[in-house]
Amino acid sequence: MGAGRGKDRRVVRTRMVIMESFVAILQNREYAEISIIDISERANINRSTLYAHFLDKEDLLQQMVDEKLDTLTGILKTSSGQDMYIPSSSEPDPLLLALFEHVFTHAAFYRVLLHRDLPGQLRAKWTDAIRDGVFCRISSLGLGHKLEAPLELLLDFIAFATDGIISKWLEDNCAYSPHHMALQVTRIAGFGMYPSMGIHR
């Protein structure tokens, strides 16, 4: 039993090293330029070891993105399922705070995901994760009948606005803390777009 657990930990550790090495290379090089040899050398492992965990670099990329976004989805669903959130201008929305904290913790990965030219619909998976988190809150709190805009439009507005804000935040090397960012977005959402611009009825 102990030997099995030790082997499992080694597998997890090896996968983590491979993924972190891949992300590190992607910070400075385009995806199309990177080879399996580049990744294995950066991870200080044999190519056969890498192939024991991933079919190719496409499989590595896909699994890496899926794992990170699955984690994010779980975090957002947990935050969404908490007690009814009462909008406040002094405290960040727990869902937004959880999102910004997660991105900050894994900033290197999200810089790659949002700023590199990657194959497939990987960025769409990211915005889908945000949409799912918001939809989970609406559903769990029974707010569907109170919506004042079409659900799909509302989810798209939130997801793509958040995507843009986080992308710029990462581009600026996370100049502000996750708490500050979550609070500012909470305030904009709470006040509304026009009041936030100083336009009042």
Residue 1's pLDDT is 47
Residue that has been written with the tokens 């100049």 in this structure: 175
Distance CA 77, CA 70 (A): 11
Distance CA 159, CA 164 (A): 9
Amino acid at 121: Q
Q: How many residues comprise the chain?
A: 201
Q: Are 141 and 77 in contact (CB under 8 A)?
A: no
CATH of domain 1-54: 1.10.10
Residue 124 burial by Cβ neighbours in a 10 Å radius (0-12, 13-18, 19+): exposed
Query: Which range is least confidently modeled, 14-18, 39-43, 81-85, 130-134?
Result: 81-85
Residue 143's pLDDT is 64
Query: Which range is least confidently modeled, 79-83, 96-100, 160-164?
Result: 79-83
Q: What does the pLDDT look like over 90-145, one tens digit per residue?
A: 999 999 999 999 999 999 999 999 999 999 899 999 999 999 999 988 887 776 67
Six token digits for residue 7:
């082997």
Q: What are phi and psi of 128, to 5 degrees?
A: -65, -35
Q: Where are the alpha helices (DSSP H) in the chain?
A: 2-26, 36-43, 47-53, 57-80, 94-105, 107-115, 122-140, 151-171, 178-191, 193-196
Residue 65's pLDDT is 97
Q: What does the pLDDT look like over 35-61, one tens digit per residue?
A: 999 999 999 999 999 999 999 999 999
Distance CA 19, CA 108 (A): 11
Distance CA 21, CA 42 (A): 6
Distance CA 34, CA 116 (A): 13
Six token digits for residue 37:
């040899």
Distance CA 78, CA 13 (A): 26
> For 91, left (φ over 0), alpha (ψ -120 to 50), or beta?
beta
Distance CA 200, CA 78 (A): 35
The residues spanned by each domain of the chain are 1-54, 58-196
